[in-house]
């Protein structure tokens, strides 16, 4: 066994074991190292790395597209390369390879639309030539113009809507962003966004399992993005249960959007909850209390977004109903963080 270390562009280093005669890329993939590759046959040059210490050579008989000068300078193609000693390589990408690296973009405000007694929908369009890729559920930080303070919001829109992005924002008495949105914001004003951030995102590998979404208030935003992403995925759709709640009926929002999702997605069930004065068809209580026996199967995957107390209660309740704790993903979503 040889020990091989990859030094990433972001300063992170990670090591793994390579058997003698084993190709370094094969070992890296097996060890779930972040590595970029494509052809695995020494041609496409995607897996290029620079040998910084140790001895590593192209497997005898394997071809590679490296020029002799490149080999002399230490360049190797990991897919056709064997380690003859412990060695380390520099790679040109970061340890987040394959993930979306956070960066700053500029966006123009399209609309600020009041959608409930204390919530607005903010629609923006990214500036020409700027782009933002994100996973459904991740969040961005938006700088409050003039004040320089940052607030975190998840898009309720999906990746294919970019350059348009939509956010649901709770209006707080005298909140920095709230004041900006309700008093200052107008079409074509420029906002600075940074992101994406967060490990609360839709798990692609679990997309066929039954889904439960529990959302409190504007915690609905990332959930909408997840539901729409699942909708856009071809093939069999999983059963989905959304439990969404606010304090009172006039604080609720996006109910028409949810109706539309139900029209488009036969496997989506929604429970709309209010703590007080429920209207016809609404659940009286919080979104956790709307969960019941039979909602959960052993492979259910759950996404929770809202105040910490709701997340704690929902987690307890889901486990009680039979959910695997490893399948419960959550994001605390307090209005001003």
Partner 1 sequence: ISEERTNSSKVQSQYQPYKDAAWGFINHWYPALFSNELPEDHVEGIQICGIPIVLRRVDGKIYALKDQCVHRGVRLSEKPTCFNKETISCWYHGFTFDLDSGVLSTIVANPEDKLIGTTGITTYPVREVAGMIFVFVREDDFPDTDVPPLSDDLPFRFPENSERFPHPLWPAAPSILDENAVALGMHRTGFGNWRIACENGFDNAHILVHKDNTIVHALDWVLPLGILPTSDDCITTVEDDKGPKGLMQWLFTEKWAPVLENDKLGLKVEGLKGRYYRTSVVLPGVLMVENWPEEHVVQYEWYVPITDDTHEYWEVLVRVCPTEEDRKKYQYRFDRVYKSLCLHGFNDCDLYAREAMQNFYADGTGWDDEQLVATDVSPITWRKLASRWNRGIAKPGRGVA
Site residues for partner 1 per CB under 8 A: 29, 32, 34-46, 48, 58, 61-68, 71, 92-93, 97-99, 204, 231-236, 260, 263-266
Q: Which is nearer to partner 1, 35 or 116 (CB)?
A: 35
Q: Least separation, in Å, of the C-beta of 160 and partner 1?
A: 10
Structure token pair of residue 14: 């990670």
Helix, coil or strand: residue 322: coil
Closest CB to partner 1 among residues 224, 291: 224
d(CA 142, CA 13): 31
DSSP string, 127-167: PTT------TT-EEEEE-TTT--EEEE-BSS-GGGTTEEEE
Min dist CB 266 to partner 1, Å, is 6
Q: Enumerate the H helices of the chain as residue ranges.
A: 24-30, 68-72, 176-179, 220-232, 255-264, 308-320
Kindly state the smallest distance separating residue 267's Cβ from partner 1, in Å: 10
Task: Tokens for 273, please give them.
Answer: 């909850």
* Other Cβ atoms within 10 Å of 230 Cβ, number: 21
Min CB(253)–partner 1 separation in Å: 17
Quick one: which H or E segment has residue 244?
A: strand 240-246
* Shortest distance (Å) from residue 134 CB to partner 1: 13
Give the residue with the Cβ less far from partner 1, 236 or 325: 236
Cβ neighbours for 155, distance < 8 A, ≥ 6 positions apart: 134, 139, 140, 165, 166, 167, 221, 222, 225
Q: Nearest distance from residue 152's CB to partner 1, in Å?
A: 24
């Amino acid at each position: 066994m040889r020990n091989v270390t990859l030094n990433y562009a972001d300063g992170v280093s990670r090591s793994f074991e390579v058997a003698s005669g084993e190709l370094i890329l094969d070992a890296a993939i097996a060890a779930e190292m972040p590595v970029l590759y494509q052809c695995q046959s020494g041609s496409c040059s995607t897996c290029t790395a620079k040998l910084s210490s140790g001895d590593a050579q192209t497997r005898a008989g394997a071809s590679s597209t490296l020029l002799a000068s490149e080999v002399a300078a230490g360049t190797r193609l990991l897919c056709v390369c064997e380690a003859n000693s412990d060695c380390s390589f520099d790679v040109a990408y970061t340890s987040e390879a394959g993930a979306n690296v956070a960066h700053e973009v500029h966006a123009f405000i399209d609309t600020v639309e009041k959608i409930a007694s204390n919530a607005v929908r903010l629609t923006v369009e990214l500036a020409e030539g700027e782009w933002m890729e994100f996973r459904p559920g991740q969040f961005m930080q938006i700088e409050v113009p003039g004040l320089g303070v940052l607030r975190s919001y998840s898009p309720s829109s999906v990746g294919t809507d970019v350059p348009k992005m939509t956010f649901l924002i709770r209006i707080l008495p005298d909140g920095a962003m709230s004041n900006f949105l309700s008093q200052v914001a107008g079409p074509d004003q420029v906002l600075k966004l940074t992101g994406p951030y967060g490990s609360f995102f839709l798990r692609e590998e679990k997309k066929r399992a039954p889904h439960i979404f529990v959302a409190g208030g504007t915690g609905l935003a990332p959930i909408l993005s997840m539901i729409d992403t699942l909708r856009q995925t071809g093939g069999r759709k999983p059963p989905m249960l959304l439990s969404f709640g606010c304090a009172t009926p006039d604080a609720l929002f996006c109910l028409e959007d949810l109706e539309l999702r139900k029209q488009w997605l036969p496997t989506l069930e929604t429970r709309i909850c209010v703590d007080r004065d429920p209207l016809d068809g609404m659940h009286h209580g919080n979104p956790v209390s709307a969960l019941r026996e039979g909602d959960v199967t052993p492979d259910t995957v759950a996404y929770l977004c809202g105040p910490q107390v709701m997340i704690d209660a929902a987690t307890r309740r889901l486990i009680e109903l039979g959910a695997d704790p490893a399948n419960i993903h959550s994001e605390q979503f307090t209005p001003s963080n």
